[in-house]
Amino acid sequence: MIPLIMIYFIISLVSLCLSCRFQSKNYQYALALVFAIEEINKNPHLLPNMTLGFGLYNVMHSPMTVMENPFIWLAGLEKHVPNYTCRKQSKSVAVISESSTAVQMGTLLELYKIPQLTLGPFEPLLSDSGQFPSLYQMTPKDTSLTHGMVSLMLHFSWTWVGLAISDLPKGIQFMSDLKAEMQKNGICVDFVELIPATLESLSSLQNSAHIQIIKSSANVEILFCVTESLIGASFQSWEQLMTWKVWVTTSQWDFASSEKPFLLYSFHGTLIFSNHHSEISGFKNFLQTANPSKYPEDSYFSKLWSLAFNCSVTGASCKTLQNCPLNASLESLPPHYFDMSMSDGSYNIYNAVYAVAHSVHEMLLQELEMQPVNSGAKVAFSPWQLHPFLKNLQFTNPAGDLVNLNHKRNLEAEYDILNFWNFPYGYGRKVKVGWFSPYVSHGQQLSLSENLIEWATGITETPRSVCSVSCSPGFRKTPLEGKPACCFDCTLCPENEISNQTDMDQCVNCPDLQYANTERDQCFHKKVTFLSFEDPLGMTLVCTALCFSVLTVVFLGVFVKHRDTPIVKANNRCLSYILLIALIFCFLCSLLFIGHPNTTTCVLQQTTFGVVFTLAVSTVLAKTITVLLAFKVTVPGRRMRQWLLSGVPNSIIPICSLIQLALCGIWLGTSPPFIDTDAHSEHGHIILVCNKGSVTAFYCVLGYLGSLALASFTVAFLARNLPDKFNEAKFLTFSMLVFCSVWVTFLPVYQSTKGKVMVAVEVFSILCSSAGLLGCIFVPKCYIILFRPEKNALKGLRDRIVSKETDVLKCSS
């Protein structure tokens, strides 16, 4: 059986007395140490027949005194003698200290290979086993802290934040990691203020940080500090500069323990990231029953009690208390004075004690297996012997949490999200409102109970913190020159482009068969349309074409009925019949352009148009040549008389028509017209049109037709002044002038239009040019035939001829 022995280790408490003021919040560390040691001493399965003890020393922040108490502990004397100690009965085997003094103390402790366990925030520098081989950090890695804070900002859509960061290396590293994570998620920084760690630089902060934070348009500020920074002192200087903002911070700076109501009031609604740990069973009950009479040797406890409950202190050792309330207990103190909830530091001390106990337990078991110990022998070992066991130690504490001291396998921290409430006024407390875990699937790592969150004073709903108001669907973000990416203007998406989400950087085009609505946030399927008979424009053109066709038939009937009258006979009635029939087909061919297109109509549209108009224009050319030859044959014996009698002018019609047919045949054989769709001309519609196939062939047909019209116009113009009562050369000239004017105007208009309007323009040109021929050539003749029949006689013509012959004879004589 192992004999009963005492194993001591030191706990170094930082700032138990800061500027000669007792910091009651740090005393929970000492009570957590006592609780853990008492719990282990009562555990029959862990270090049986052994008792743990401890020593308590206060370490000051000052560089002049930070090593004073460690030297006293090592030497056991007020006068420090290196490599000598008068402590023969109670040598400590481990040290528990704050991270803030770990570097200074670690250098000293490394000389003796004494294990040092730190309870503060995780420091990457201290995990360097080459520089600090005897140091073990109890806090898990905090690399997920930046991810957790950014997840919180994304949850509330906070994209414009300010940063107040400790200017120590850990703070600078945190700022760098946070800004990188924020940039990846589209969150911008309004300002960065470094909190000084020395009194010398504190005054500069008070002049600059106040202005930045007050003038900042960000409603959310992230506050990150380490315990040795002067952030507490700097914030207390802001009493006249009330800034009601949402603060996001960590539990490393415990502003809730401040005795100034100003801080409690200003930080009401703060969201705090605190390392997650399970509740330690029995700790709260231990605090409820703890009092100085239970631990009379602890002078710190007596001082705490006297200050908290206004007790009088007597006795030489200042440990005797009088006039204390009968029901005095730590539980009755306000949370800002003493918090009954176990803090992160207390939890780490609790685990550190168990880590040392487990290491000693494993070391002793190993020694027993290798060499059984005599029942009367005393167990003795040196602190350095614990290192092989501490380096790979992994155990589950009584709360069920996994503790791992191997920094290479150290897990990332999980966080509880606490909300600080300052009510009743001056009685601050922290309420858990959510958690963050890096070990669950992405998108579920953050959990919040928003109904429990109390926001800063004056904020009644979830606050917003943005540089620019979000661009709603239908708009896109336009960056502002010289501003962060979160500052932008909102610009309406261009036509046929949409944005169906907020804050889109670019609008997206709708597919060809869809169109954007007026709000530019949805694409709808386009409606298939064409120039139909039911369409108002189509109906108008159809009625016009039919009316002119009927009118042309009427004119043809009038000419047939009065075929033996001089005005019909004098102008080659056969050519007149052909021209009228051609005009009927000209009017009717326009109907091919109206209605649902198909392959047949697409082919017939242009070929029919080209052939019938060639027939009409070539007939006009034949009529003009006939008029010109008729006046040239007045001189006997001329060859022109034979041409006129043999019908040469009439042969122009089939020749010109055959040439046009050949051109159309080549067109249809190489690249015929086909059905096509136009999805861009008319908003929200897909227009069915006939694609001409070969544009070159189309303009060749049109150009050939234009050359015939120009030739007709030229011949008619030359014959316009020939004397004859029934000479129609002037009418032919005007008809060709109208015809050419219509088609010259048609070309630029046709090129500048698309869709149904383009079709309508071509139909309109067909009707106008046909109506021009009909009106200029046949309306005057029908008017004479129907309303002025006296002019439709040969008498006037004979008198004019006789008068002309008499004048010729007189000139001859």
Over residues 432-470, the pLDDT tens digits come to 999 999 988 888 999 999 999 988 877 888 999 999 988
At residue 240 the predicted structure's pLDDT band, cuts being 50, 70 and 90, is very low
Please report the pLDDT score of residue 420 as a whole number. 87
pLDDT of the residue at 253: 72
Q: What are 142-151's pLDDT values in tens digits?
A: 889 999 999 9
- Checking if the pLDDT of 236 tops 60, the result is no
- How many H helices and E strands in the chain? 23, 28
The stretch 360-380 carries a mean pLDDT of 73
Assess whether pLDDT exceeds 60 at residue 17: no
pLDDT at 78 exceeding the cut of 60: no
Mean pLDDT of the chain: 80
Candidates 326, 337, 329; CA nearest to 290 is 329
Taking each helix axis as running N to C, give the angle between helix 729-751 and helix 695-718, from 0 to 180 degrees, rounded to the nearest 10.
150
Who has greater pLDDT, 771 or 317?
771
- 732, 623 Cβ separation under 8 angstroms: yes
Confidence at 798, pLDDT banded by 50, 70, 90: very low
DSSP 453-479: ---STT--S-----SSPPPPTTEEEEE
Of residues 442, 386, 418, the one with CA closest to residue 133: 386
Q: What is the pLDDT of residue 21?
A: 47
Measured from the Cβ of residue 399, the count of other Cβ atoms closer than 10 Å reads 16
Distance of CA 209 to the CA centre of its chain: 32
pLDDT at 797 over 50: no
Copy the structure tokens of residue 145: 């802290």
Q: Domains of the chain (ranges plus CATH)?
A: 4-137+280-291+339-371+381-400 (3.40.50.2300), 143-276+413-452 (3.40.50.2300), 296-328 (no CATH), 475-525 (no CATH), 536-794 (1.20.1070.10)
Predicted confidence at residue 272, as pLDDT, reads: 93
280 pLDDT more than 60: yes
Q: How large is the average pLDDT for residues 80-99?
A: 66
| pLDDT at position 424 over 70 | no
